Amino acid sequence: MDFDKLVPEMRRLALLAGDKIMEIYNSADFDVKLKSDASPVTVADEAADEIISTGLRSIFPDVTLITEEQSKSHSLSADNFLIVDPLDGTKEFIKRRGDFTVNIAYVENGVPVRGVVYAPAKERLFITLADGQTIEEIGPFDKDQMGAYKELSVSEPDNGALVVVASKSHRDQATDDYINKYSVKDSRSAGSSLKFCLVATGEADLYPRVGRTMEWDTAAGHAVLNGAGGQVVRFDDHTPLKYGKDEYANPFFIAFAKGVELKEA
């Protein structure tokens, strides 16, 4: 894959999709439907998916593309593929809470190696550059030219005073039980893949997920965290979280800054 070509295109499409999402978000009303798994979907999910998938297929027609909204029509048979969640955090979007993102990632041999996470309502844009370094671009954002940015690096955690981030919509007792194994100075809530990004920026040290996620939910945030020096491992055995799994389903996992002393499940 030509990352010098891929990264600007992922960035551009994320921004275009973000504009469409915000147009709908700021409208007086929008329809909400339920998918077969009872999860919500809106016209914003569908419009963003159309923008991103059409753009990626036109530029990279020979690369396998998986998107959340089209996943039922795909069977994965590639080692390398693009994977997209056009609107991660639909529940946050519906509640107009702002913690939703556009996620676009490229997976190579089971590892998310490049990703873009864009939170349009919060005007935060996280990108792994062609060389693999993660940055946060500083807005306003031009579609065709990257602006000022800062390179990101995970924190140097104090295991006696960790900052933990957990899901805003999916936090439960099992999550709290695991967090309670650590010495926690502060706990934050965030929606969508922003949790990975908060670890990447050093705003948090640890993000455990004891609940259902899919690969399109996590791949872009995982790539962003990798490029900032962090890691994502399985909850059960602490081996690296891999992609290209059956039906795109993830096991429970832990995202963290290097130096965090992980506790057993």
Per residue in 66-112, pLDDT (tens digit) is: 998 887 655 666 889 999 999 999 989 999 999 999 999 999 999 99
Structure confidence at residue 191 (pLDDT): 86
CATH 3.30.540.10 boundaries in the chain: 3-151
> What is the rounded distance in angstroms from the CA atom of residue 231 to the CA atom of residue 218?
12
How much is the pLDDT for 169? 67
**pLDDT at position 28, please?**
80
Q: What tokens does 8 get?
A: 């600007």
Closest CA to 250 of 217, 223, 228, 224: 217
Q: Domain 3-151 belongs to what architecture?
A: 2-Layer Sandwich (3.30)
Average pLDDT on 218-241 reads: 98
Which residue is associated with the tokens 């993102």? 101
- Asked if residue 156 has pLDDT above 90, the reply is yes
Judge whether residue 7 has pLDDT over 90: yes
Q: How far is CA 21 from the centre of its chain?
A: 16
Which stretch of 64-73, 126-135, 243-252 has the lowest confidence by average pLDDT? 64-73
Q: Region 162-187: what's the mean pLDDT? A: 90
Q: Where in the chain is the domain with CATH 3.40.190.80?
A: 162-257
pLDDT of residue 77: 67
Please give the pLDDT value at position 75: 60
pLDDT of residue 218: 98
pLDDT for res 73 = 54
Residue appearing with tokens 């909204």:
69
Among 119-123, 186-190, 250-254, which stretch is predicted with the lowest mean pLDDT?
A: 186-190
Candidate CATH numbers 3.40.190.80, 1.20.1530.20, 3.40.190.10, 3.90.230.10; the one for domain 162-257: 3.40.190.80
Q: Are strands 101-108 and 80-88 parallel, antiparallel or unpaired?
A: antiparallel
Residues paired with 84 in a beta bridge: 67, 104
pLDDT, residue 63, reads: 95
